Chains A and B, each alone.
Chain A
Amino acid sequence: MSLDSRSAAPVQPAAHPKPSPLGSFLKLRELPVILALVVLVAVTAAVNPLFLSQQGIKDLLLNATILMILAVGQTLVIITRNIDLSVGSILGLVAFGTGSVFVAAPELPIILVFLIGIAFGAVLGAVNGLLITIAKVPALVITLGTLYIFRGINNAWAGGTQYFAGERPDAFGNLSVDTVLGFPVITLIAVVVVAVVAVYMLGTRPGRDLYAIGSEPEAAKLFGIPVARRVLLAFVVNGALAGLAGILYASRFNSVGATTGTGLELDVVAAAVVGGVAIFGGSGTVVGAAIGALLLTTITSALTALRVDKFWQQAIVGILILAAVVIDRLAGARAARKLRIAEARNV
C-alpha cells in the first residue's frame, strides 16, 4: 500500500544467532586503535629493545595517565554531542590549588586534598554544564569562553608563583614513583577510573541516556529523557575528572603555576577521536578513548626512541586523527552498503 515495492514480499523469519566472541571483537570500534598501538609498540621494541624495559614501560604508563583520565571525562561529554575545551584550564587551576593547599596546610591528609581537588573540578565543570543547559548556547562556545576565564583566574591567582615538588609531602610525590605489580600508583588510579566509568556508561540507565542524547537529541526529548540533567552530569563528572588529573599532575611533575595544562584540551579531544569516539556524539567508549590517550603519548615516546624529528611527531599525530576518522567513515559506508544489498533482495 505504499509507494514502492521495497519490502512487498513476505519477510522470511530469520534466526538471529548470538554474535560470536570473535565476530564482536572484529566489529569493535576500538579495534583500529588497539591494532595501531600493538604495531607501534612491536616495531619500536624491535628497533630499540630498551623501549620495553621495565623502566620503559613504566615511563609509557606514567606519561599516559593524566591524558587518559582527561580523555575519559571528555568522552562522556562528546558522547552527548557536546565538547569541553576548558579541561586544560580546569587541570591548571586544580593543580595550582593543590600546590597551594600543601603549602598552606602541609599536614592535611592526602586523601582530603584529593577530595578537595575533585570537588573543585566538579564545581568548574558544573559552571560549564549550567551555562550550556540553561543558556542553550553551544558547548564549543561556552567552554571556549571558560577556557580563557579559568586560565585568567589561574593567572591572577598564581601570578609569578610556582610551587615545586619539594613543597609537597613525599608520600604525595611518591604516588608517581611507587609501583604495585610494576604499575605506577597513579596509573592504577587511572585504570580504576576507566573501569568505573566504562561500567557506568555500558551498564547503567543514565549512562545509556548519554548515548541516546548524543545519537538523536530531538528523539531524546520526545522520549522524555531528562536531557539537561544528563548533560549537566556529564560536564560535572568531566570537571571532577579534570580535577583528579590536576592533582595527579601536581604529584607527577615538579612545578605547578599559572600556565600548567595550557593547550592540553586539544590533545584530549585528539585522544578521544583516535580512540573511536564519534565527534558528533552517540558512539564510542571510554576504554577506546583511554587507549587513544595511551597511543598518542606512546607515539611521542616511540618516535623519540626511533630518533624521529620532533616536527614529524606532531604531523604523525595529525595523520592518526585523520586516519581514525577515515576508518570510521569507511566502516560506516560498508555497513550501509551491506544493508542496501540485504534490502535489495526483497525488491
Chain B
Amino acid sequence: MTHLDGPGSGATDPIDPARTPVLSLRGALKTFGPVVALADGTVELRAGEIHALVGENGAGKSTLVKILAGVHQPDAGEFVVAGEPVSFRTVADSKAAGISVIYQEPTLFPDLSVAENIFIGRQPTGRFGLISRVEMRRRAEELFDQLGVPIDPDRVAEGLSIADQQIIEIAKAISLDARILVMDEPTAALSGIEVERLFAVARRLRDAGSGILFISHRFDEVFGLCDRITVMRDGAYIATHETAATSVEAIVREMVGRDIDALFPKTETEAGDVVLRVSGLTRPGVFHDIDFEVRAGEIVALSGLVGAGRTEVARAVFGIDRYESGTVEMSGEALRRKDPRAAIDAGIGFVPEDRRKQGLVMELSVERNAALTLRHSLARFGLISRKAEREAAETWGRRLQVKSGSPEHAVSTLSGGNQQKVVLAKWLATDPKLLIIDEPTRGIDVGTKSEVHRLISELAGRGIAILMISSELPEVLGMADRVLVMREGRITGRLDRSEATSETIMHAATASLESSR
C-alpha cells in the first residue's frame, strides 16, 4: 500500500481462486440483548480485490464492519486474517492486524491539526524523542500529494467538508500500511469528482495488493468499481458473486428477497382532499424545485439514498430549516417560513429520524414525553396538571399498545419500537392533519417494525395524510400509496403503487449522473 504512484491498471485482473483470502469471517453472530444484529456474518476478502458488501439498511453490514474493526466482539463465528485465526478484543488489535476502517461518519479530532489527525498515536519523532512537527507536516503533504488533494496539513480538522474528512481517513489508512481497508459507505456525502478521486485511490491501493471491502448503496459504484459482491439480508449472508457474472437486478432481488405484502399490512384507503402542497421549494445546494402534494388518508413515501436531501425537505416543510424560494401550503393556506409553531398549529406533526436527539426527552417519563406537545392545552393557569398529563398519555399509550412498566418510567428504558410509539403518541395527541415520519422503523427489530407499520396504516385509514421518509425499500413498497424518489436534492422519480418496484426506485435513486443530466 506504499507504492501509490505506480500506473493504475484500471482493468480488473482475473481473480485467482487459489489465492488465500487476506480476511475471512464465517458465521459471525452478534446479539445486543434480545436483538440479533448479525445472525450469520460471512465475508471473504482476497488480496488485490475490491469487494462490495451490499444489503438494505439493517441487513447487518455496519455490525459486521464493527466486528472487523474490533469495536464489537462476535458471540460466535470464525475469523481468520492472513491465515491466522484472530479474535480482536480492542480496536488496537484490529489495527495491528493491518485492518483500517473508514466509517460513514468520519471520526476526526476537531481541535487537532489535519497532520496530527493522520498521525495521532504514532507521530514521527525527532530530537530528544519529541514529536517533529516539521516531519509530520512533510509526511502529511506527501500523502496528500499522492492522493492528489490540496489540504493544508496545519489546518485544524474542525469545519472540513465531509469529502476532505474522508480523504484524511484514507491518508491515515495509507500511512498505516493497512493491508485491509474497509470503507463503510464512503461516498454517501461526496460529489461526483470527489467520488472519482476516491475510486482512483482505491484502484491504486488494490493494484498494490490491498484488499478493500467497500460498502455502498449505489449500484453504479458497486458495479463500476468492485471485483466481487457479497449480499447480506436480515443479518445473514446470502451469496457472493463475481461482478462480471451477475446483474443489478439479480443483486437487488437477493437484497430484498422476501414477501413484502405479508410483512406490511397495508389497508387500502381512498385519498381525500389535498392536505399538503409543496411547490418550487428550493434551498440552493440542498434541494431544488421540490413539488409534491399529499392527500388526506394517503401515505406518500419519500425515497432515495441517505443524503439525497429528503430529511432536509421535511425539515423545511415543518419550518425547522429555512428555504430560499417556493411555498408550503396546508389545506390551501400558505405557511410562514421557519416557524414550527405555525406548522404545528396548521396541523403538522413531525416524527424525526433521530428519536434520541430530536423526538424524545430520554430522561423524562413516558407520560411527560407523550404530553410534551400538548402543554398548551393541558395547562391551567400556566401550570400543567399532572392528572391531565397522565390521562392524555394513557389514552394514547393504550391505543398504540406501548409496552412500558409504568407511564412514569423514563423513556430511555423502553425498546426502540416502543420509543417510536411514544413519539407517535406525542404527535397523535395533537390531532394532526399531516404526519411527517422520518425513518419510522430505523433501529427497530423486525417484530416491532410490523406493529409500527400497522399503526401508520391505521392512521392513514383515519384520514391523516402521511409523508414517510424511508431508506428501506420493502417499507416503501409495502406502505406507500405513492413514491417520490429523490437524488441529489431533486425529485427524480414519481411512482404510483402499481409502478413502484425495487428496480424502478433504485434506478431513480442511483442512476449515474451522465444518464440524468
| Chain A interface residues (CB < 8 Å from chain B) | 1-14, 16, 18-19, 199, 202-205, 208-209, 211-212, 214-216, 218-226, 278, 282-283, 335-336, 339, 343, 347
- B107–A3 contact, CB under 8 A? no
Contacts of B258-304 to chain A: CB distance below 8 A = 284-287
Which residues of the other chain, A, contact B103 by a CB distance below 8 angstroms? 222
- B121–A224 contact, CB under 8 A? yes
* Interface residue B11 (Cβ < 8 Å from any Cβ of A): no
Which residues of the other chain, B, contact A1 by a CB distance below 8 angstroms? 187, 190-192, 195, 218, 221, 488, 512-513
Query: Chain B: which residue is nearest A343 at the CB level?
Result: B161
Chain B: interface residue count, which band?
Answer: 35 or more
* Contacts A14-B152, A223-B91 supplied; 16 other A-B pairs, CB < 8 Å: A1-B190, A1-B488, A2-B190, A4-B286, A6-B285, A9-B193, A199-B130, A205-B122, A208-B112, A211-B109, A211-B112, A215-B110, A215-B111, A219-B109, A222-B103, A222-B107
Measured between C-beta atoms, what is the minimum distance from B178 to chain A in Å?
A: 13
- B111–A19 contact, CB under 8 A? no
Measured between C-beta atoms, what is the minimum distance from B113 to chain A in Å?
A: 10
* Interface residue B163 (Cβ < 8 Å from any Cβ of A): yes
* Interface residue B69 (Cβ < 8 Å from any Cβ of A): yes
- B109–A212 contact, CB under 8 A? yes
- A2–B188 contact, CB under 8 A? yes
- B161–A225 contact, CB under 8 A? no
Interface digits, B150-182 against A, CB 8 Å rule (1 contact, 0 not)?
Answer: 101110001101010000000000000000000
Which residues of the other chain, B, contact A14 by a CB distance below 8 angstroms? 150, 152
Measured between C-beta atoms, what is the minimum distance from B308 to chain A in Å?
A: 5
- Our pick among A6, A19, A224 for the contact of B90 (Cβ within 8 Å) is A224
A-B contact pairs, 21 of them (CB 8 A): A1-B512, A2-B188, A4-B309, A5-B191, A7-B163, A8-B193, A11-B150, A12-B150, A16-B141, A204-B130, A208-B116, A208-B120, A212-B120, A215-B112, A219-B107, A222-B107, A223-B120, A225-B120, A226-B92, A282-B110, A339-B159
For the complex, what is the distance from the CA of A225 to the CA of B90, rounded to whole Å? Answer: 10
- B286–A3 contact, CB under 8 A? yes
Interface digits, B128-164 against A, CB 8 Å rule (1 contact, 0 not)?
Answer: 0111000000000100000001101110001101010
For the complex, what is the distance from the CA of A249 to the CA of B218, rounded to whole Å? Answer: 66
Query: Chain A: which residue is nearest B155 at the CB level?
Result: A16
* Interface residue B95 (Cβ < 8 Å from any Cβ of A): yes
Q: Is chain A's binding surface mostly helix, strand, loop or mixed?
A: loop
| Chain B interface residues (CB < 8 Å from chain A) | 69-71, 90-92, 94-95, 101, 103, 107-112, 116, 120-123, 129-131, 141, 149-150, 152-154, 158-159, 161, 163, 187-195, 218, 221, 284-287, 307-309, 487-489, 512-513
- Given that A222-B107, A283-B111 are contacting pairs, would A2 and B123 also be in contact in the complex, using a CB cutoff of 8 Å? no
- Given that A208-B131, A222-B103 are contacting pairs, would A2 and B187 also be in contact in the complex, using a CB cutoff of 8 Å? yes
Measured between C-beta atoms, what is the minimum distance from A13 to chain B in Å?
A: 4
Query: Chain A: which residue is nearest B71 at the CB level?
Result: A222
- B161–A211 contact, CB under 8 A? no
Which residues of the other chain, B, contact A224 by a CB distance below 8 angstroms? 70, 90-92, 94-95, 121
Measured between C-beta atoms, what is the minimum distance from A75 to chain B in Å?
A: 14
Which residues of the other chain, B, contact A282 by a CB distance below 8 angstroms? 109-112
- Given that A1-B513, A2-B192, A203-B130 are contacting pairs, would A215 and B159 also be in contact in the complex, using a CB cutoff of 8 Å? no
Which residues of the other chain, B, contact A2 by a CB distance below 8 angstroms? 187-192, 194-195, 307, 488
Which residues of the other chain, A, contact B221 by a CB distance below 8 angstroms? 1
For the complex, what is the distance from the CA of A219 to the CA of B108, rounded to whole Å? Answer: 6
Q: Is chain B's binding surface mostly helix, strand, loop or mixed?
A: loop
For the complex, what is the distance from the CA of A270 to the CA of B356, rounded to whole Å? Answer: 34
- Given that A16-B154, A216-B107, A343-B161 are contacting pairs, would A209 and B193 also be in contact in the complex, using a CB cutoff of 8 Å? no
For the complex, what is the distance from the CA of A203 to the CA of B129, rounded to whole Å? Answer: 8
For the complex, what is the distance from the CA of A12 to the CA of B193, rounded to whole Å? Answer: 13
For the complex, what is the distance from the CA of A12 to the CA of B192, rounded to whole Å? Answer: 16
- A4–B69 contact, CB under 8 A? no
Which residues of the other chain, B, contact A222 by a CB distance below 8 angstroms? 69, 71, 91, 101, 103, 107
- A223–B285 contact, CB under 8 A? no
For the complex, what is the distance from the CA of A283 to the CA of B94, rounded to whole Å? Answer: 29
Query: Chain A: which residue is nearest B163 at the CB level?
Result: A7
- Our pick among B90, B123, B191, B287 for the contact of A8 (Cβ within 8 Å) is B191
For the complex, what is the distance from the CA of A74 to the CA of B191, rounded to whole Å? Answer: 44
Which residues of the other chain, B, contact A11 by a CB distance below 8 angstroms? 149-150
Measured between C-beta atoms, what is the minimum distance from A283 to chain B in Å?
A: 4
For the complex, what is the distance from the CA of A9 to the CA of B163, rounded to whole Å? Answer: 13
Query: Chain A: which residue is nearest B106 at the CB level?
Result: A219
Most buried by B among A6, A9, A220: A6
- Our pick among A10, A18, A335 for the contact of B159 (Cβ within 8 Å) is A335
Which residues of the other chain, B, contact A209 by a CB distance below 8 angstroms? 120-121
For the complex, what is the distance from the CA of A1 to the CA of B224, rounded to whole Å? Answer: 14
- B110–A4 contact, CB under 8 A? no
- B71–A3 contact, CB under 8 A? no
Which residues of the other chain, A, contact B129 by a CB distance below 8 angstroms? 204
- Our pick among A3, A9, A218 for the contact of B309 (Cβ within 8 Å) is A3
For the complex, what is the distance from the CA of A12 to the CA of B131, rounded to whole Å? Answer: 31
Measured between C-beta atoms, what is the minimum distance from B146 to chain A in Å?
A: 13
Which residues of the other chain, A, contact B287 by a CB distance below 8 angstroms? 3
Which residues of the other chain, B, contact A8 by a CB distance below 8 angstroms? 191-193
For the complex, what is the distance from the CA of A19 to the CA of B134, rounded to whole Å? Answer: 12
For the complex, what is the distance from the CA of A208 to the CA of B136, rounded to whole Å? Answer: 13
Query: Chain B: which residue is nearest A347 at the CB level?
Result: B285
For the complex, what is the distance from the CA of A129 to the CA of B284, rounded to whole Å? Answer: 49
- Given that A209-B121, A216-B109 are contacting pairs, would A4 and B194 also be in contact in the complex, using a CB cutoff of 8 Å? no
Measured between C-beta atoms, what is the minimum distance from B131 to chain A in Å?
A: 5
For the complex, what is the distance from the CA of A212 to the CA of B188, rounded to whole Å? Answer: 26
Measured between C-beta atoms, what is the minimum distance from A9 to chain B in Å?
A: 8
Measured between C-beta atoms, what is the minimum distance from B512 to chain A in Å?
A: 8
For the complex, what is the distance from the CA of A331 to the CA of B308, rounded to whole Å? Answer: 33
For the complex, what is the distance from the CA of A205 to the CA of B132, rounded to whole Å? Answer: 11
| A-B CB proximity, top 5 nearest | A203-B130, A282-B111, A219-B107, A224-B92, A224-B91
Measured between C-beta atoms, what is the minimum distance from A253 to chain B in Å?
A: 37
Query: Chain A: which residue is nearest B308 at the CB level?
Result: A3
Which residues of the other chain, B, contact A212 by a CB distance below 8 angstroms? 109, 112, 120-121
For the complex, what is the distance from the CA of A3 to the CA of B195, rounded to whole Å? Answer: 12
For the complex, what is the distance from the CA of A204 to the CA of B108, rounded to whole Å? Answer: 19
Which residues of the other chain, A, contact B195 by a CB distance below 8 angstroms? 1-2
